[in-house]
Structure 1
Amino acid sequence: MKNLVILGAGTSGTMMASHLVKKLPKKEWNITIIDQYKTHYYQPGFLFLPFDIYTEEQVKKTGSKFIPKGVKYVQEKIELIEPEFNKVVLQDDKTLNYDILIIATGSKIAPDEIEGMEGPEWQKSIFDFYSYEGAKALRDKLREWKGGKLVVHITEMPIKCPVAPLEFAFLADSYFKKKGMRDKVDITYVTPLDGAFTKPKATKALHHLLEEKGIKEVTSFNIERVDYENNKIIDYADTEVAYDLLVTVPTNMGDELIERSGMGDDLNFVPTHKHTLQSKNHDNVFVIGDATNIPTSKAGSVAHFEAEILEENILRYIEGKTLKEDFDGHANCFVETGNGKALLIDFNYTQEPVEGTFPFPGVGPLKLLKENKMNHLGKLAFRWIYWNMLLKGIPIPFVSSKMSTKGKRIEQTA
């Protein structure tokens, strides 16, 4: 028997288990998935938790219930990957040999990377919403907060879902309006980018929304430290932004396992071929989702598109065939804009978000780069799709893994 081992039972790992258990001959292959955590989180829901839009129960479930039959589930901490020996070492020194390894260990926040961020004010006046604990603590804070200077801040790129901090700012505007205290809250959006987003076309639309909602924008801000004693963040150019409540997106890094194993870059992301999803350094190792260093959005939709392509490439690898260079960096993201509306953006490595219709050309029903209620409903529907389709490896009808140009006003970039 041959062994395929998946590291991580989050979004990407669970999807790959669901895809491959249907394809690999059971008499020839054992599939094992390893994760130390019992709980599976719906991470897009962390955005809604602070505003009491979602409950705790809606964003977390027992992870084992999503592991498909026929896949062995090992709930233990992974100590080391030894790719030269095709071996994974667990915390209790137990080892698992593999013929094929899939790394789906995700990414996590590292607030300790910035001086003063994870200090005595962490989860008191300084919060994140990229972790379950952070989002829940922020919810409790917002319920009783009386107003002041709210700063929504990004430390550095890459981060999970690059639009999420913008969504937070938009939802905060809506949240405080509903509470009748928007006039008591000054919202500032602070980013290391030179605009609201990584793509020019979307940046223009999103900047317009920031202006419309009275949200100040500070760009090109590369944070050096948090002065929690004086309630301000300071960048390397000595620019200061004052806050009463700081909602920050800390540095995002790959799992420490990758660093221990000597397989990552400076941020512990695994060097990965951006079109095949094969490790650049080890032929029988494949990487998916947030664990990769590929230049696309770290978002659930991307992992979903990657899974469909990686499934085929693993089968081709087993058969000794040339891998397909089919992944184009496709990302499809709903952007919550508050007041029951959202934008939809669809882009890839070479094509920035443009206007048009999705998924059907000229019909929609979803509009690209247009703020409306239908896109908001699409965002909310994604939670059901996630739990009931994506994790089970069921394709979303009419949505292809490669970006379609049909129905879009294409302006080709480099």
Structure 2
Amino acid sequence: MKVMTRRLLVLGAGTAGTMIANRMRRVLDARDWEITIVDKDDVHLYQPGFLFLPFATYRPDQVRRSRHTLLADGIDLVLAGVEQIDAGAGTVTLGDGRVLAYDQLVITTGTSPRPDQTPGMLGDLWRRDVFDFYTFDGAMALQRALQQLTGGRLVVHVTDMPIKCPVAPLEFVFLADAWLRARGMRERTELVFATPLSGAFTQPVAAERLGSLLADRDIRVETDYLVERIDEQGKALVSYDERRIDFDLLVTVPLNMGAEVITRSGLGDELGYVPVDRHTLRSRAYENVFVVGDAADLPTSKAGSVAHFAVETFVHNFPLLVEGREPVDAFDGHANCFVETGNGKGLLIDFDYDTQPLPGTYPLPWVGPMRLLTETRANHLGKLAFRWLYWNALLPGRPIPLPAHMSMRGKDTSLLAAA
């Protein structure tokens, strides 16, 4: 008797979705499982590269590839928007009216900037004096604006948390400082970093290190800054407590929200993120729905490394969970992020749900070659090298010799007591 083929449907062909489709195609028998992945277009974007586009460090062709070329044989790529998810019925309705049925659903729809959520942000100043860099078009528009910059006040601003890659705004202000100095414009350009947080970072040890770097570079920091609107006529950010920050050029990170289809389908919280078990990544409402990457409401960074490590857990557990067995792995919220600090140097931070970033070495204890929370040339080179790994190893699902779970070996744990 022929066994019915089961259907695995992945919504979103970004980092997490592409990795899952490729890895599961190797794990699941093609005679038993069909794998379909859906996205609105055929352009896969290397989003960490957006940080470098405004400074013309990367070319546009280095951050874009066809989704088709990144997927293994035996995966069906459907190019269409997603209109509705009916998790009760096990169906997904596409923008063109097609309906896809599934046995298991993986949501990897990510998070996106929503400038429309802040009054005045999408007004006449948008991409003229007010720019984003979390989108390809925004980063390229900002590149043109920086080429015309002659001085004044450059403000880097974060609307609210959570955001995709929470260290990227800090990286931008560090790179802007170095870029301005290299062009002899730093003395006539004031740099301001406005954040809704109480410091440069959420955790005390990293916040102290990053705060010192900002002070050393004479970058003014406005903390606890919750923007209410942008005054277009006065060219100023205005907070809820009426603090004004005037700007000549504003580089903002708008409010980030999950995909609109999540909200339309009644699956998300107030920001459009899907509640999941933080260790198995399974939906709290539907046993045959999993959420991996930025679309989940996990209490950790929305970053590519989190997606990578979460996929490792998902791949180990999925074949067991769909058969009603116990998972063999638990995601610990592991994240590590390179922080560009300018002048060919960078930091590296490594943390999880329970442990904040600490000094030490990575990935090998006491050997490195990366140094945690310390500016080094090796960290900068590691960030640049990651682009090659992303296209050639991470997305195709090839093994990368990095531990999926965070290790405390090689870290200075004595700072935990002081913090």
TM-score, normalisation: structure 2:
0.97
Identity across matched positions, percent: 50
SS in 1 for 2:398: coil
Match for residue 20 of structure 2? 16
Determine if the alignment matches structure 1 residue 405 to structure 2 residue 405: no
Runs of 4+ in structure 1 over 3 Å off: 411-414
Alignment match of 1:45 (pick from 43, 49, 57) = 49
Alignment match of 2:192 (pick from 170, 180, 188) = 188
Query: What's the CA shift for 1:323?
Result: 2.7
Gaps of 5+ in 2: none
Alignment match of 2:34 (pick from 30, 35, 40) = 30
Match for residue 203 of structure 2? 199
SS in 1 for 2:337: strand
SS in 2 for 1:135: helix
Match for residue 228 of structure 1? 232
Looking at structure 1, the residues matched to 208 and 319 of structure 2 have their Cα atoms a distance apart, in angstroms, of 42
Query: What's the CA shift for 1:92?
Result: 2.1
AA partner of residue 122 (structure 1): W
Match for residue 81 of structure 1? 85
Alignment of 1:88-107 (within 5 A): 88-107=92-111
SS in 1 for 2:279: coil
Query: What's the CA shift for 1:89?
Result: 0.8
Match for residue 392 of structure 1? 396
Alignment match of 2:182 (pick from 178, 182, 191) = 178
Alignment of 1:5-404 (within 5 A): 5-324=9-328, 326-397=330-401, 399-404=402-407
Query: What's the CA shift for 1:393?
Result: 1.1
Range with bigger deviation, 154-163 or 53-62: 53-62
Work out whether residues 316 and 329 of structure 2, in 8 Å CA contact, stay in contact via their aligned partners in 1.
no
Looking at structure 2, the residues matched to 202 and 175 of structure 1 have their Cα atoms a distance apart, in angstroms, of 24
TM-score, normalisation: structure 1:
0.98
Query: What's the CA shift for 1:232?
Result: 0.6
Query: What's the CA shift for 1:318?
Result: 2.2
Residue by residue over 1:356-386, the C-alpha shift from the partner in whole angstroms, topping out at 9 and shown as x without a partner, is 1111111111100000111000000010010
Query: What's the CA shift for 1:320?
Result: 1.6
Work out whether residues 362 and 407 of structure 1, in 8 Å CA contact, stay in contact via their aligned partners in 2.
yes
Query: What's the CA shift for 1:122?
Result: 0.3
AA partner of residue 239 (structure 2): D
Call closer, same or farther: CA 1:396–1:325 in 2, change over 3 Å: closer
Q: Please give the root-mean-square deviation of Cα atoms over the aligned residues, in Å.
A: 1.1
Residue by residue over 1:331-351, the C-alpha shift from the partner in whole angstroms, topping out at 9 and shown as x without a partner, is 010000001000000000110
Gaps of 5+ in 1: none
Looking at structure 1, the residues matched to 42 and 277 of structure 2 have their Cα atoms a distance apart, in angstroms, of 31
SS in 2 for 1:332: strand
Looking at structure 2, the residues matched to 165 and 92 of structure 1 have their Cα atoms a distance apart, in angstroms, of 37
Looking at structure 1, the residues matched to 116 and 223 of structure 2 have their Cα atoms a distance apart, in angstroms, of 23
Query: What's the CA shift for 1:396?
Result: 1.6
Query: What's the CA shift for 1:404?
Result: 0.9
SS in 2 for 1:16: helix
SS in 1 for 2:294: helix
Query: What's the CA shift for 1:184?
Result: 1.4
AA partner of residue 95 (structure 1): V
Residue by residue over 1:188-208, the C-alpha shift from the partner in whole angstroms, topping out at 9 and shown as x without a partner, is 000000000111111000000
Looking at structure 1, the residues matched to 87 and 269 of structure 2 have their Cα atoms a distance apart, in angstroms, of 16
Looking at structure 2, the residues matched to 288 and 272 of structure 1 have their Cα atoms a distance apart, in angstroms, of 9
